[in-house]
Structure 1
Amino acid sequence: MVKKKVYIVSFLIVAGFLIVILRLLYFQVIKRDEYTQFIKKQYYTQEKIILPRGTIYDKNGKILAISVPTIDVFVLTKHIKNRDRLAKELSIILKKPYSNILKKLSSHRNYVVIARNVDKSLKDRLLKIRRDLKEWNLGLIDSSKRFYPLGSIGGSNIGFVSRVTGKGMEGLELKYDSKLGGGTGKILMMKDALGNPFTIEKEDEKNRYDIKLTIDSNIQYIAQEALKKFVRERKPKEALILIVDPKTGNIIANATYPDYNPNLYWKYTVHKNISFQNAYEPGSLVKPFVLAEAIDEGKVSFKRKYYCGDGKIVVDGVKIRDHKRFKFLTPDEIIIHSSNVGAITLALRLDPEKFYDRLLSLGFGKSTKTFPGEAKGLIKKSKRPVDIAYASIGQNWTATPIQIAMAYSAIANGGYLLKPNFIKEIINPQTGKTIKVEKKIIGKVFSDRSLKKLKSTLKLVVEEGTAKKGKSKYFTIAGKTGTAQKYDPKIKALSKEKFYTWFAGYFPAENPQFTVVIFANEPKKIKKWEVIGGGSVSAPVLRELVDRIMFYMKGKPDKVGGKNGD
């Protein structure tokens, strides 16, 4: 009987152990994730911090954007002993209103952030307050913020990072967001049985890369200074100076108006970069392309002069006027003096399909995919003579300034359309490994025959034609002016007061190092009698701009004994 009882007891003990083991296996294996999450909710709370991003440099290694270490200041409000005194002390150091801080300290929430992105140099003073006041529930967390050392220099190109999400919001910060890294991370704050945080664990930082741009911040500064002066004088709605290396497609500088300081991005209502995100009628900048197509189709002779209508031409019953009353001009002179009637006369001799294909081959009508939110421009392939006439003088279709820059770069570099580029190299800061970005050739878009004629003609445009107000005493420049009348919805016709004005070209003319585009939207007259146009408005910016850039580059003057054009 006793033996039987021993067996029963032993069985019950073993069975009990088995049940416990099975329950432990059930909780630790089958229900492990579910209970882990439950425990975390009970004993952990999550807070967000801004993670550092990769650094952005200019082509020479100067810092354009960097993540600066900061601290976030928080309190556990239930355990603050003297809210009034702490609010006064924090107000002095953080330079924030006392009433705002006191309101946060009086919150019913247990964990409250008093200030984010506080300068790390204040850390010792904040810790001293905690010691002096014995407010041990005042805490500091390491964080970071994006800082742009050059302020608005190149701001509309670089873009900015959100103060809330730590992610790129505009410009190159947005385009290369996945490479630069950053964003928000999490900190786990352990809680005791009463729900009070007492330990902090920080989430590992994400992979990030540094980026070196093709921008030269010194040339960017020169361009922005020239643009500021231009804006003060002309008071346009918008304006820009865009500078590209025609041999590589690298963007060297891009000054825009309006622009912004990315350190204070929230104070600006407009964050557009008009060189990429807006498209405009190009006006007479198109005329050299008309001449190139006429040469390639064999529809023009340089041994004869073409009748330019004494200032007007009628196409499909529509009268189109010239800016001057020209009678007979050679093909070169049509470009040099920018005759509308002359360009239309040449265009109407062309195969319409080939004419539009020429414009499309130059990159018009499609995005270069260089910048976020980039516009495509619009070309309507209408074969009506009047539509071809307007297209040949840059009206009734639109192009972005970057498309214009790349088309003129193709003239400068021997006929090749290149993809524009902002990135010189991408660097892994952990390994030091560098990925260099090579130039990309889209295709040859000008024949050698047409190029030879275009180069000599565009040089004469600056030396003695419509752009002569911009010629340098020291360096040769080649290019073309452009003027496009804006459509005025009030009068339902082209305005006689509102214009887009352009200059596009390259320098030095014989060995081009830079392509430049200068643009203004509705520039104002300086003198009442003045005629607004690319030659009178955009070209004059050239002289000082070219000289300053070339002397900065230690370029040797390629003109001897020349005179400044007036």
Structure 2
Amino acid sequence: MWQRDKSSSVGMIIVMFIFVPAALFVFLAILYFWGSTERKLPRLDVNETNSAIRGAIIAKDNYVAANSVKLYKVSVDARSIDKNKLDLFVRLYCIYTGDSEKRVKSAIEGSGGTTVLSYKIDAKTAVHLKELAYKLNLKKVFVSFMGSNGRLNPPIRMSVTESGEKRSYNVGDSLTPLIGYINKKEVDGITKVSGIKGIEKYYEYYLAPVRDEFIVGPRDIGGNIILERSSKKTGRIDGYNVRLSVPLTLQRKIERLSDEGADNYDAREIVVGIMNSKTGKILSLATNARYDPSNITKNDLKNLNFTASEYAYEVGSIMKPIIFAIAYDAKAVKPGEIINTYNGSYKLGTRTIRDTHPAKQMSGEEIIIHSSNIGMIKISERLEGQAIYDGLMNFGMSQKTGIDLPYEQSGNIPSIKSLNNKIYKATISYGYGAQMTFLQMLNAYTVFNNGGVMISPRLVENLENNGKTY
């Protein structure tokens, strides 16, 4: 009996020596397989959009006249805040944002669900609030709550998301209505802006955001995206910056002078333009009829359209040098030629035309110097209607200048047939019977000191994006 038990024990020992190494080998093989084989474990990918923003408008002397900043919305579900920790939440939130504790607490207590605490949080504060939300979550400030359906909802912590962009105009009413203003609209819950007038409108295609940043990847315990090899990311490209040829310092001086002039002469509006005749660059285009694009009121509505480019009117005596130049080019008059000016009184049809500087006669140059209506009538009589019409067209009349502003008007001039009529011919010689815009006249005058060459006026010198100049 003892012999049988002894041999049985020996057999078990032998089996153990064989089985244990075999089991260990299988275990190690499984570990190696797990370690060397790519496993498709479930993971939660999240996506995040970082919206691009509108480009800036920058004056020649580097003052940023208009720029955009991103804004964020902060919301919280009142049911998910532990009532015993509500004061802690309110106090910390207001420390970060500078908001009123009374207002925030009242908003939360008066809400039966999700309430928006602010739509206007800047990017820096948004980062701090996201970190605060994570820490408050660890402190159990956000708790589970019973929903209206009778089910227990998990904690919902404070949410910080993009709400849109804010367009800031940093120079008050300067450079208006030149730079224009924007309109706001909501796209997929995000406030977007687009140009309505001025530079904002004309360069909308370039100022508008080019491409949003889009990130896809796994998230960490704090809800933040982990950037790893498998993450996907598209780069953010903001809109182009637009750099004006107008220095703000000069523009403000001209605007101040236009304000003073309007007061001194009781004028509804004074428009002033300074243009480089050789390059076409506008150095100043100012008016006393301005507005603040950040705060447009009912009283500003009459100033939203830019008189310099959007209205045509009879220009008066500043037409005289142009008609004189047309006559000179046609060899119909010489600068030193003596012309009868009838002692400052001349009968034209049923009307009597008078000069402010009466003289029996004047030279061609004196007619321009003293702005003689009678002298210009006598010069225009030497021209055919076709010559006047062609001359005005050569000076850009009844044609858009091509300036980089929207809604430019072209004005109009009489027909050739009308210009053959003695009355039409006479009245247009001293600036009546035709309508031109301020910019047409400014552009036409550049011909006199640019060797007879006309250049289209330009307000924008170049575009900028990602450190490159276009």
Give the equivalent residue in structure 1 for 2:377.
344
Partner of residue 448 from structure 2, selected from 395, 401, 411: 411
**Shift of residue 251 of structure 1?**
0.6
Give the equivalent residue in structure 2 for 1:178.
205
* Structure (1 or 2) with the larger CA radius of gyration: 2
Distance 1:120 1:266 in 2: 29
Give the equivalent residue in structure 1 for 2:410.
376
Taking every aligned residue pair, what percent have the same amino acid on both sides?
25
**Shift of residue 45 of structure 1?**
12
Partner of residue 161 from structure 2, selected from 118, 134, 141: 141
2:211–2:238: 8 Å Cα contact kept in structure 1? no
Matches within 5 A, 1:294-373: 294-370=327-403, 371-373=405-407
Give the equivalent residue in structure 1 for 2:437.
400
**Shift of residue 409 of structure 1?**
0.9
**Shift of residue 133 of structure 1?**
9.9
Give the equivalent residue in structure 2 for 1:224.
255
Which AA in structure 2 matches 1:106?
S
- Taking a change above 3 Å as real, the CA distance of residues 203 and 275 of structure 1, as seen in their structure-2 partners, is farther
Which AA in structure 2 matches 1:309?
Y
- Taking a change above 3 Å as real, the CA distance of residues 364 and 297 of structure 1, as seen in their structure-2 partners, is same
**Shift of residue 120 of structure 1?**
4.0
**Shift of residue 208 of structure 1?**
2.7
**Shift of residue 265 of structure 1?**
4.0
Instruction: Please tell me whether residue 151 in structure 1 is matched to residue 186 in structure 2.
Output: no
**Shift of residue 315 of structure 1?**
2.8
Give the equivalent residue in structure 2 for 1:167.
194
Distance 2:375 2:304 in 1: 40
**Shift of residue 286 of structure 1?**
0.7
Matches within 5 A, 1:519-534: none
Matches within 5 A, 1:445-464: none
Which AA in structure 2 matches 1:62?
Y
Distance 2:296 2:100 in 1: 21
2:211–2:237: 8 Å Cα contact kept in structure 1? no
Distance 1:207 1:308 in 2: 64
Instruction: Please tell me whether residue 56 in structure 1 is matched to residue 57 in structure 2.
Output: yes
**Shift of residue 250 of structure 1?**
0.4
Q: Deviations over 1:149-197 (max 9, x none)?
A: 32322132222333443212221111111112239979999xxxxxxxx
Partner of residue 115 from structure 1, selected from 110, 114, 118: 118
TM-score, scaled relative to structure 1: 0.58
| Secondary structure in 2 matching 1:254 | strand
Greater than 6 Å deviation, 4+ residue runs: 81-92, 183-189, 198-204
| Secondary structure in 2 matching 1:417 | coil
Distance 2:120 2:209 in 1: 15
Give the equivalent residue in structure 2 for 1:214.
245
Distance 2:294 2:371 in 1: 44
Partner of residue 461 from structure 2, selected from 424, 428, 434: 424
**Shift of residue 343 of structure 1?**
0.9
Distance 1:170 1:87 in 2: 42
TM-score, scaled relative to structure 2: 0.69
1:67–1:147: 8 Å Cα contact kept in structure 2? yes
Give the equivalent residue in structure 2 for 1:260.
291
Q: Which runs of 5+ in 2 are unaligned?
A: 1-45, 143-155, 186-191, 217-222, 226-231
| Secondary structure in 2 matching 1:238 | coil
Distance 2:296 2:125 in 1: 24
Give the equivalent residue in structure 2 for 1:275.
308
| Secondary structure in 1 matching 2:262 | helix
Distance 1:96 1:414 in 2: 70
- Taking a change above 3 Å as real, the CA distance of residues 222 and 141 of structure 1, as seen in their structure-2 partners, is same
1:166–1:184: 8 Å Cα contact kept in structure 2? no
**Shift of residue 134 of structure 1?**
3.2
1:51–1:144: 8 Å Cα contact kept in structure 2? no
Q: Deviations over 1:278-319 (max 9, x none)?
A: 222211111011111221222224454222233333333343
Distance 1:290 1:119 in 2: 58
Which AA in structure 2 matches 1:334?
I
1:50–1:145: 8 Å Cα contact kept in structure 2? no
* Number of residue pairs aligned between Structure 1 and Structure 2: 381
Matches within 5 A, 1:487-566: none
RMSD of the TM alignment (CA)? 4.0
1:49–1:184: 8 Å Cα contact kept in structure 2? no
Distance 1:96 1:182 in 2: 36
Q: Deviations over 1:225-247 (max 9, x none)?
A: 22222233233211121111111
- Taking a change above 3 Å as real, the CA distance of residues 125 and 302 of structure 1, as seen in their structure-2 partners, is closer
Distance 2:100 2:275 in 1: 44
Distance 2:99 2:265 in 1: 43
Q: Deviations over 1:488-529 (max 9, x none)?
A: xxxxxxxxxxxxxxxxxxxxxxxxxxxxxxxxxxxxxxxxxx
| Secondary structure in 2 matching 1:275 | helix
Give the equivalent residue in structure 1 for 2:469.
434
- Taking a change above 3 Å as real, the CA distance of residues 174 and 303 of structure 1, as seen in their structure-2 partners, is closer
- Taking a change above 3 Å as real, the CA distance of residues 81 and 409 of structure 1, as seen in their structure-2 partners, is farther
**Shift of residue 203 of structure 1?**
8.9
Distance 1:347 1:147 in 2: 52
Give the equivalent residue in structure 1 for 2:75.
74
Distance 2:111 2:236 in 1: 33
Partner of residue 239 from structure 1, selected from 257, 262, 270: 270
| Secondary structure in 2 matching 1:375 | coil
Distance 1:217 1:128 in 2: 41
Which AA in structure 1 matches 2:332?
K
Partner of residue 107 from structure 2, selected from 78, 87, 102: 102
